[in-house]
Chain A
């Protein structure tokens, strides 16, 4: 299972991370988010050692969601050295998300 971050962990785990980080902004009530969950878990397994994958529950961490203007779920963002380098809105196949990470 991909780790769901608390707001307090965002700085150290995402913004100060060494490599790229894929963040899945999701909501517990969102159908497409549930459907994407196993795909996100697979990606987390596949990129171990090269990148990190975390989830942000937009209701639990509304501060983070609002800081990055998330107004649709799922929203996927790639962070690199503290800033957003790529993002996409809505359900996506695994290959597209892997592509976001490698760009």
Chain B
């Protein structure tokens, strides 16, 4: 069975939803493959303070749901299946999802990025039992307890600050001796008394209790090699992201880290395929830059479809 569209957008974070809106407004027949969750990482963010138009900030989930509603109101076809395969050719792309083959003239890749796991022993077994990748989702399970956060970027520092308001103690474990987060949040870190900073440390393995809960974290100093044991109730892994480019990496040029190489219009190395949002190789990954990417890519794709 074939369902045919002018533009298929894969991924429904801010880039994908904006691309769908712009594609639709350009008169195109658009299908939006929603994947795991509309909103993407935005749905897991706490308060977003740097998206213009919200003087007091906006909850990531509220912004995500508003965008999702706007997409629905425009009559865009939303397909709630994970895409299993993408098969390119010179003038169209086939997408296989849920056993159905969809046919699209242009493809916009907006699959974003997913949480990087630590890949240490015990991690996979303890997901949902003390190991989490979303502080705003799971922080409340550790109310009044102690937690550790691993990472050194905006997400890690933001999670540590968020958790410090819920938990008695937060240990922030970072491999280096400086953080790569916004200065404003770094300043907040130093003013928060219940956050303990463990610099130059990496997680070696996780050990569990007989009840299959996190018992403790074994860390190792990157300077001395000395191992330490940390007793916490929960571990939040905020160790960056990996681009979700697997489906297209064999035919679209990517950078060394797997992000799709594309120009400002989102044009990739393959004709008829554009990239938008966090999946694109670029310097700044924010909701604002994602929506901008989505608009540019949809405009370019619509022009190509019409030509």
CA distance A71 to B130 in the complex (A): 7
Q: Which residues of chain A are near B234, meaning CB under 8 Å?
A: 71
Residue of A nearest to B233 (CB): A71
Per the 8 Å Cβ criterion, residues 5-48 of A in contact with B are 27, 29-36, 39
Fill in one digit per residue for B169-195: 1 if any A CB lies within 8 Å of its CB, else 0: 000000000000000000000000000
CB distance from B36 to the nearest CB of A (A): 5
Find out whether the CB atom of A72 lies under 8 angstroms from the CB atom of B141. Answer: yes
Residue of B nearest to A69 (CB): B129
Count residues on chain A whose CB falls below 8 Å from chain B CBs.
25
Q: Which residues of chain A are near B45, meaning CB under 8 Å?
A: 31
CA distance A33 to B44 in the complex (A): 10
CA distance A30 to B139 in the complex (A): 10
Known A32-B134, A72-B127, A72-B132: A93·B36 in contact at CB below 8 Å: yes
- Partner among A27, A73, A95 whose Cβ is within 8 Å of the Cβ of B81: A95
Residue of A nearest to B64 (CB): A35
Fill in one digit per residue for B120-163: 1 if any A CB lies within 8 Å of its CB, else 0: 00000001111010101110110000000000000000000000
Known A39-B80, A93-B34: A31·B60 in contact at CB below 8 Å: yes
How many A-B contacts are there with CB distance less than 8 Å?
84
Q: Does B43 contact A (CB under 8 A)?
A: yes
- Partner among B34, B35, B140, B212 whose Cβ is within 8 Å of the Cβ of A27: B140
Find out whether the CB atom of A71 lies under 8 angstroms from the CB atom of B128. Answer: yes
CB distance from A33 to the nearest CB of B (A): 8
CB distance from A58 to the nearest CB of B (A): 8
- Partner among A59, A72, A94 whose Cβ is within 8 Å of the Cβ of B137: A72
CA distance A43 to B194 in the complex (A): 43
CB distance from B174 to the nearest CB of A (A): 23
CA distance A45 to B81 in the complex (A): 18
Q: Does A92 contact B (CB under 8 A)?
A: yes
Residue of B nearest to A66 (CB): B141
Q: Which residues of chain B are near A95, meaning CB under 8 Å?
A: 80-82, 98
CA distance A30 to B136 in the complex (A): 7
Fill in one digit per residue for B48-69: 1 if any A CB lies within 8 Å of its CB, else 0: 0000000000011100110010
CB distance from A42 to the nearest CB of B (A): 8
Find out whether the CB atom of B127 lies under 8 angstroms from the CB atom of A89. Answer: yes
Q: Which residues of chain B are near A34, meaning CB under 8 Å?
A: 43, 61, 65
Per the 8 Å Cβ criterion, residues 47-72 of A in contact with B are 59, 69-72
Q: Which residues of chain A are near B141, meaning CB under 8 Å?
A: 71-72
Give me the interface of B with A, judged by CB distance under 8 Å: 34-39, 43-45, 59-61, 64-65, 68, 80-82, 98, 127-130, 132, 134, 136-138, 140-141, 211-213, 234
Sampled A-B contacts (11; CB under 8 Å):
A31-B39, A31-B61, A31-B64, A32-B37, A32-B44, A32-B134, A39-B80, A71-B132, A73-B137, A73-B138, A92-B37
